[in-house]
A and B are shown apart, each in its own frame.
Chain A
Amino acid sequence: MAYTHYILVCGGTGCESTDAKGIYNNLQMEAKAAGVSDKVQIVQTGCFGFCEKGPIVKVLPEDSFYVEVKPEDAKEIINEHIVKGREVTRLLYKKEKKNVESIDEIDFYQKQLRIVLRNCGVINPESMEEYIAREGYMALEKALFQMTPEDIINEIKAAGLRGRGGAGFPTAIKWEACYKAPGDIKYVVCNADEGDPGAYMNRSTIEGDPHALLEAMTICGKTIGSHQGFIYIRAEYPLAVDRLKIAMEQSREAGLLGKNILGSGFDFDIEIRLGAGAFVCGEETALMRSIEGKRGMPTPKPPFPAQSGLWGKPTIINNVETYVNVPIILNKGASWFSKIGTVDSKGTKVFALTGAITNSGLVEVPMGTTLREIIFEIGGGIKGGRKFKGVQTGGPSGGIIGEEGLDVPLDYGALTKMGSMMGSGGMIVMSEDDCVVDVSKFYMEFCVDESCGKCAPCRIGTRQIHALLEKITTGNGSMEDLDKIKEISFAMQKSSLCVLGQSAPNPTISTIKKFEAEYIAHIKDHKCPAGKCKDLVRFSINEKCIGCLACVRKCPASCITGEKKSRQVIDQSKCLKCGECFKTCKFGAVEKE
């Protein structure tokens, strides 16, 4: 019996946390109750990417895109849409107050090109058949039976694939070095220790399409002559780990993993290693030490992993996104892939768009897309119509790009030139309400906590810069402190052992360069132009106050007093500077300075 409808329920971690599981269960229950279980197939997929509006439910073949669905909406979706064939218009995504009927009309998706996320939100990640139905494991078959290791390396080289985990090292060069490295024992490692604040593209990719990663790693194993792979993934990603485990079991059973894969005589298996949450374990040498059972701390490079990696053996270590590009390159060919992107960087890049943005979520765009397109077209601009100030890319290692960088086509080179980096693809948007000094302090605090503690310039330098930023944000800074920050940053960049330490000053240094006036305002005028730094903000109530007491009711510190219908007064000694009064007042009576 053929299904008339398919209901795809987002099963990414974001939507799961807002009860997508409840939606799925209720849909099943309601379908049964309505007697349409045989007409509708309900599938939990991976992440749709449009996390701002989750949980997301999509109904096929109409392509109805329901947003912010709640478990109690299940009845209506079944009874109205499935039974009666009428879309539940109140759940449809709205664009300029009009219902949007199809995913293709949504701005968020229009500029995207989903290669890495090709199967996310499309297939059931727990079904190998659905993966295979979308050309899954075709590339592996090619790699096993039609291509030599050199062919594979050349194809990836011609495609121009660069590592998606950080500095963008050409993937084929790495694979070639490892292929040529002498030795019988080699390893394939996947870095899924995604640790940048706000970044979750690797998690979503695995949650939505785990087989793609397994296929790619097996191809890598065939290419370099390795029989053992490791996926190093954060323990904080339980759903991704579960789906990986299911996928591994399925592919072993199907002869796609393990001994004598597809009868080719090639053996390859994969083990999952859970990371305990240290940011530094995303650094490849630290990651490998951690797999070896040692404490995750970076070691000197060279030797590079391709020569001497895991247990001293030649090792390929790539990021999730890099791997997932491989099968599609082999399937569609290097010439197809290399047409996407810029001269410098080919293919697409997935970004986790968060911060002061209207549509937060995962976006995948061709290399060369501008920040303006990502932030204003896909992302729908700054939340609440505020003014754009900057965007942080590359996580704690990256820098902040201001207005001047909005129209630069993004690729590895362009980002580096602008004082930032691609990193893993975190993109945190800041509005005029965000203070750059405060943001720098946030990232520095992250590094203070996440420095592995080995390297003196990083361990102590981050601590000292953080202390200096703290001085500035509390109005106690001096111009000399700014010089000290620059001096420590220089020493860290030059003398830290790993890239975490070398790049930890980047957010601070890039903002001092581009937003120096804001730093000086903190130091010389003791003012925070964004009104974010609590010690430098003062709220007061002016003569416009009509005594409506709206602010009084909101104030958590009960520090606003006065007669009803007359001007209120804020007790500065008790004020927490939370800004609730300022946000609440409709008469412009609360002033922020």
Chain B
Amino acid sequence: MINVKINGKAIQVPEDTTILAAAKMANVKIPSLCYNSDLPAWASCGICIVRQEGTTRMLRACCTKMAEGMSVITHDPEIIKARRTVLELILSNHPQECLTCTRNNSCELQALAAEFGLRQIRFEHFIINRPLDNSNGAIVFDRNKCINCGRCVEVCQEMQKVNAIEYQGRGGKTVIGPADLAALEDSPCVRCGQCAAHCPVGAIYEAHANRKVWDHLADSNFVTVAQIAPAVRVALGEEFGLEPGIISTKKIYAALRRIGFKYVFDTNFSADLTIMEEGTELIGRLLKGKGELPLFTSCCPAWIDYAEKNAQDLLPNLSTAKSPQQMMGSMIKTYWAQKAGIDPAKIYSVSVMPCTAKKYECKRNDDMKSSGFQDVDNVLTTRELARFIKQAGIDFNDLPEEEADNPLGPYTGAATIFGATGGVMEAALRTAYAVITGKELGDINFIPARGLKNVKEAKIDVAGTEVRIAVVHQLGNVEEVLKIVRDAKAAKKDPPYHFIEVMACRGGCISGGGQPYGANDAIRAKRAAGLYTDDERSTVRVSHKNEAVMAVYTEFLKEPNSEKAHHLLHTHYIKRDLYK
């Protein structure tokens, strides 16, 4: 610990504490804009300047570390004046379109402007008009609104190591985008949307689906059906003032019905189905030599996109199982449509996802039309659903709790943890163990797979067979695992792992690119805890005991990995170029 002073108040802070963090400890709020706790301080905005007492030089609070005996003044008229000028400069280069902006009321720049009480921009207002990039179907890049804070670049390069975007050009013409300002669609972008989740303003956001969905809801020719992903239920409440991690599954079902959806299903159902398909595939590869090892999970479309571009040598190692969203999509328009006697052509199927890449996944290739129609017609992010609820005049917290519709609603505890890193692994192990050994696990909680450690590894004894697993989340950590796999392959050694779960976003889907803004590790932990609570409270906690899923097999698919299952629930992968 070192002794420092913030505005004259003596406090002790750990070594290596930044001024910004130290001030927070002293209950002093230093305004900042470009800083985000997920990312190393990039120090681009100049808002968080403070003064070291006794000097005229100002320091950036976000990136300057406290030293023993240091005394910092965070606010005085001169500092405030400089900050206000900088803010006014930023606004002079930002469209004044708050009313129609996707970030109206959730914009960090807007909040700062309100705090500083800026009523007029005295400097020339200038924008270099650049066309909107909405090429990739998942993320929209509005460069006119970009304040060049660089968070997206850091996310893309440091956190995700996707390296799709970088600053381009110099001076006033500086702009962020893919190399040579290629369209996002033609770039290495994998649509994880972490850039959008970290953007402080309305420069990067999910491709909106509002209008189309509302139009279909209003059109009585369509039977509108919704599904919600695991991670949505522990985060949506934040948009209505609830703590992160509060489980609001049943209120969400109720809300969807009040918005106008005729049927409400749960992606958790198809997560159980995924376990049956992927688990069977794993057992086949593990015990019967059917396909390569290790097996990689395939639920995460950003990871799939990444693998198709960056791990083409390992495509045979990806599970062919579709993601739960797509399994649900094809079940709705085949199994359920038949059962309910509804013409699948009339079904408009919408999923609510914590994810931006899911918007792309539903149109990825022709496998996503296995029902003969586009299996999932449209995808809303958690944030978009929150806006739907508000638009529909619903008091979310006052909603009654309702159940999902049958037969695609019931789910087990194994399914709900899909939303957190390690969850798919844990769910798969619960079922694989039972299928291989014929016995249920004594303790089904698989703690080594849980938590925010970048790469988690474990060995499990399954009836005398050692099963080696790895769990990795946040794409920037993936290469480390891929290298281990490739090195072993090159050395013709046994695979270092048998089963690897990959989730593109930090913490898994709970902090996906479409989740409520402001995620940090504390919030991630709370959301994950919500899912584990949901699991614990479930009466059934293993996928193979989901009776509704079992019914699908007996009534429709026959057995996991059957020919029909392959047609409806599996897909294939192709090599894609980083740049088109």
Binding site for B on A (CB under 8 A): 278, 280, 295, 297, 299-300, 302, 447-457, 459-464, 467, 484, 487-488, 490-491, 494-497
Asked whether B167 lies within 8 Å of A456 as measured between CB atoms, the reply is no
In the assembled complex, which residues on chain A have CB atoms less than 8 Å from the CB atom of B166? 295
B170 sits at the interface (CB 8 A): yes
Asked whether A464 lies within 8 Å of B123 as measured between CB atoms, the reply is yes
In the assembled complex, which residues on chain B have CB atoms less than 8 Å from the CB atom of A463? 93, 126, 171-172
Asked whether A491 lies within 8 Å of B170 as measured between CB atoms, the reply is no
Chain B: CB-nearest residue to A445:
B171
**Which 3 residue pairs across A and B have the least CB separation, nearest first?**
A453-B174, A495-B46, A491-B85
A300-B63, A484-B123, A494-B58 known; A456+B85 contact, CB < 8 A: no
Asked whether B60 lies within 8 Å of A491 as measured between CB atoms, the reply is no
Question: Complex formed: what's the CA distance from A452 to B148 in Å?
Answer: 11
B354 sits at the interface (CB 8 A): no
B82 sits at the interface (CB 8 A): yes
Shortest CB–CB separation between residue A356 and chain B, in angstroms? Answer: 28
Asked whether A453 lies within 8 Å of B82 as measured between CB atoms, the reply is no
Shortest CB–CB separation between residue A236 and chain B, in angstroms? Answer: 16
Question: Complex formed: what's the CA distance from A394 to B64 in Å?
Answer: 28
B45 sits at the interface (CB 8 A): yes
Q: Which of B86, B93, B167, B174 has the most CB of A within 10 A?
A: B86
A295-B166, A467-B124 known; A488+B89 contact, CB < 8 A: yes
Question: Complex formed: what's the CA distance from A280 to B63 in Å?
Answer: 20
Asked whether B46 lies within 8 Å of A456 as measured between CB atoms, the reply is yes
Task: Count CB-based A-B contacts (< 8 Å).
Answer: 118
Shortest CB–CB separation between residue B159 and chain A, in angstroms? Answer: 16
B318 sits at the interface (CB 8 A): no
Asked whether B172 lies within 8 Å of A456 as measured between CB atoms, the reply is no
A295-B166, A453-B167, A491-B89 known; A459+B49 contact, CB < 8 A: no
Question: Complex formed: what's the CA distance from A264 to B203 in Å?
Answer: 59
Chain A: CB-nearest residue to B91:
A460
Contact of A456 among B78, B147, B170 (CB under 8 A): B147
Asked whether A452 lies within 8 Å of B45 as measured between CB atoms, the reply is no
Asked whether B89 lies within 8 Å of A456 as measured between CB atoms, the reply is yes
In the assembled complex, which residues on chain A have CB atoms less than 8 Å from the CB atom of B169? 453
Chain A: CB-nearest residue to B175:
A453
Asked whether B65 lies within 8 Å of A495 as measured between CB atoms, the reply is no
A-B contact pairs, 28 of them (CB 8 A): A280-B170, A300-B41, A302-B64, A448-B171, A451-B174, A452-B170, A453-B172, A453-B173, A454-B148, A456-B147, A457-B46, A463-B93, A464-B92, A464-B123, A464-B124, A484-B122, A484-B123, A487-B85, A490-B81, A491-B81, A491-B82, A494-B49, A494-B78, A494-B79, A495-B46, A495-B47, A495-B60, A497-B43
Contact of B86 among A299, A447, A457 (CB under 8 A): A457
Question: Complex formed: what's the CA distance from A496 to B49 in Å?
Answer: 9
Chain B: CB-nearest residue to A497:
B43
Shortest CB–CB separation between residue B83 and chain A, in angstroms? Answer: 7
With A459-B171, A460-B93 already in contact, 17 other A-B pairs whose C-beta atoms are closer than 8 Å: A300-B63, A451-B171, A453-B148, A453-B171, A454-B42, A454-B44, A454-B167, A459-B172, A464-B92, A464-B123, A467-B123, A488-B85, A491-B82, A494-B49, A495-B46, A495-B49, A495-B58
Shortest CB–CB separation between residue A258 and chain B, in angstroms? Answer: 33
In the assembled complex, which residues on chain B have CB atoms less than 8 Å from the CB atom of A447? 171
Chain B interface residue count, Cβ-Cβ cutoff 8 angstroms? 40
Shortest CB–CB separation between residue B381 and chain A, in angstroms? Answer: 29
Asked whether A456 lies within 8 Å of B45 as measured between CB atoms, the reply is yes
Question: Complex formed: what's the CA distance from A420 to B148 in Å?
Answer: 30
Question: Complex formed: what's the CA distance from A280 to B169 in Å?
Answer: 12
Shortest CB–CB separation between residue A466 and chain B, in angstroms? Answer: 9
In the assembled complex, which residues on chain B have CB atoms less than 8 Å from the CB atom of A490? 81-82, 85
Chain A: CB-nearest residue to B94:
A460
Asked whether A295 lies within 8 Å of B65 as measured between CB atoms, the reply is no
In the assembled complex, which residues on chain B have CB atoms less than 8 Å from the CB atom of A462? 171-172
Asked whether A456 lies within 8 Å of B82 as measured between CB atoms, the reply is no
In the assembled complex, which residues on chain A have CB atoms less than 8 Å from the CB atom of B113? none
A300-B41, A488-B89 known; A453+B170 contact, CB < 8 A: yes
In the assembled complex, which residues on chain A have CB atoms less than 8 Å from the CB atom of B170? 278, 280, 449-453
In the assembled complex, which residues on chain A have CB atoms less than 8 Å from the CB atom of B122? 484
Chain B: CB-nearest residue to A454:
B44
Asked whether A449 lies within 8 Å of B49 as measured between CB atoms, the reply is no
Question: Complex formed: what's the CA distance from A451 to B172 in Å?
Answer: 7
Question: Complex formed: what's the CA distance from A464 to B172 in Å?
Answer: 10
B467 sits at the interface (CB 8 A): no
B150 sits at the interface (CB 8 A): yes
Give chain B interface residues in 130-175, CB to chain A under 8 Å.
147-150, 166-167, 169-174
Asked whether A299 lies within 8 Å of B43 as measured between CB atoms, the reply is yes
Q: Which of B47, B58, B78, B172 has the most CB of A within 10 A?
A: B172
Contact with A along B179-220 (1 / 0, CB 8 A): 000000000000000000000000000000000000000000
Chain B: CB-nearest residue to A487:
B85
Question: Complex formed: what's the CA distance from A31 to B398 in Å?
Answer: 102
Question: Complex formed: what's the CA distance from A70 to B158 in Å?
Answer: 57
Asked whether B58 lies within 8 Å of A497 as measured between CB atoms, the reply is no
In the assembled complex, which residues on chain A have CB atoms less than 8 Å from the CB atom of B65? 302
Shortest CB–CB separation between residue A299 and chain B, in angstroms? Answer: 7
Asked whether B90 lies within 8 Å of A456 as measured between CB atoms, the reply is yes
A450-B171, A451-B172, A497-B43 known; A491+B86 contact, CB < 8 A: yes
In the assembled complex, which residues on chain A have CB atoms less than 8 Å from the CB atom of B41? 300
Question: Complex formed: what's the CA distance from A490 to B167 in Å?
Answer: 26
A456-B45, A456-B148 known; A497+B171 contact, CB < 8 A: no
Question: Complex formed: what's the CA distance from A530 to B375 in Å?
Answer: 74
Shortest CB–CB separation between residue B56 and chain A, in angstroms? Answer: 9
Question: Complex formed: what's the CA distance from A464 to B93 in Å?
Answer: 10
In the assembled complex, which residues on chain B have CB atoms less than 8 Å from the CB atom of A295? 166-167
